[in-house]
Structure 1
Amino acid sequence: MISIHTRQLLSGLVLPVMVFLAVGVMLAGQIWSGRAIQLRMAAAREMGPVYQGLLFPQKQFYKWQLTLQGVGDLLAANARLRKENRQLAYWYGEAQTLRQENARLKAVLHWGAEDTRDYVSGWVVRDESGPYLRAVLLQVGDHQVQQGSLAVDAVGLVGRVSEVGAHVVRVLLIEDAASRIPVTLQNSGGDAMMIGDNTPYPRLMYYSQSLRPEEGEHIVTRGQTGLTGGVAVGHVHYLSPGQPVVVPDAALERLELVRIFDGDFMLEAPPSAGRVREKPPLLPDHHDGEAPSNWQNLRRFLPFSSLRNG
């Protein structure tokens, strides 16, 4: 055991000894500088792996910190892109809706010259088509509409105004059994009466026997007092010999925007490329000379029947 006095003596000699050694090392380095450099380099070489081992946790932690920071930035950027994508999808839908509505409005505006007619446009608010009634209700606001005025969509005749209310009007479609509209055959120039029968294809009746309707012949309304003339209606198709019907140009099964014309002036129809159906109608065909069956004749007068192929 070292005594207390010895420990006190040694503790008092530590500082002078350390100062003496430091001065000695400095003097030795100045005297033998080349040897000192070699010793320092050898010590650095031997201690290099130890330094690498001591710095490895710090370097790894720094890499993990950068990785976590990058992941956080990616999550924030992903959230921002998702929000922008939702906004773009919303505005894309709005743009598509406006584009379709603009196309429909432009198509309806193709009827004749603007300064030659009076018209009211309205959206279909209710479809009243059923087994015994083919009609739609239009929202026309405060506009005044006369009973009996013609209604058209973007391509052809829809029907006539049958009832007028405060803000809505009822349009009786051309396929309704109560519909009676005088028409003109464009090829032959003859007149006829288009009569609805609650089927998608109204009948042609009361035409001159010397000017029979031709297959595929186009039909327009006949201008007379209280009726706008020249409105495209459709084209002729024969269900069987002696039974001509009208295939409407208007899309009566999906009406949206309808225009109502007041007056008895002649109206210029839109170009035929946009209103004539390219595909043949889905109607039963009969060979020439073959008479239709009794059931086929009877179903023409049933209000709940429809004409379909096979």
Structure 2
Amino acid sequence: YKNGVNMDLNKLGYLLVISEEKSFSKAAKKLFISQPSLSQYVSNLETELGIKIFDRNKYPITLTSSGEVFIKNIKEMLNLKGKMLREINNYSIKNLNSLKIGISPFRSPYILPLILPEIKKFYPNIKLIIIEKTAKELEKLLEKEEIDIALMSLPLTKKNLNFIKFYTEETFLITPKNDYYSTLSIKNEISLKNLKTESFILPSKGIKIREKINSLFYNNHFFPQIYLEIETQETILSLIKIGLGIGFTSNMSLIHKDWKNDFYIFSLKEENIIRDFAIVYKKNRLLNEVENTLVEILLKIFKSEEFS
């Protein structure tokens, strides 16, 4: 094309969204791009092809006769691309010897025992390599393609990564089973202002949940008395259980080993710490069959009644 119009199939897919939404603004919002950029792309394409794809004089916008033919062929091309990629993917899986999974050591005790037996059941001959690093380190490893996927919390700091979310959870304040703490709360809710004299046992700096906790303190002008900073969630839970302090944990952690019975569990009056967890991989990389199966396993497990 003489003017260099982008005929990339992914961008041609924008036209399908416009035709479905019947609106440039709605399509742009759905595609996470600006409306002017989307309109300019379509205008350039129409000029290059010498046709009008959309009738903008109607509301909602409609396809022209030429546009209907063009959209029909785009759908066929995208279907063909999908078929080709599936065939390549199926061929590749036969030669797949290993899968490198990155995960935070703060989360690995809770997630890995749930998913690894399922993967082994479906793919007994694939060697699984587990890399335990902090979230920032995992993002760097994904960029360098030193791991295939990572199981980690959002948001991401790198723009060249994709993700599929599989779980959303609240982080709770937990205390030892001491009736004193129940006097500080109302309807299982507790305020930071009632915890000024308490000793906190927190995740070490550099662990992603610590950043969320620090933001909570900062936003509410709260200055905690930090007694200990610990690398692993299990150690934090063990020390809080015996009365050395109070801290934070998640539903995912509490379900493990039935920790729920060992603590008083509170939501915070000031604000809730809500976190999303996702399977993360490098952009422009197609997930293979094993990785797609892993996504299905994660979605099934974390949508179960136990985690709801």
TM range (shorter): under 0.3
TM-score norm. by structure 2 comes to 0.19
TM-score normalised per structure 1: 0.19
* Structure having the higher Rg: 1
Q: Larger % of helix: which?
A: 2
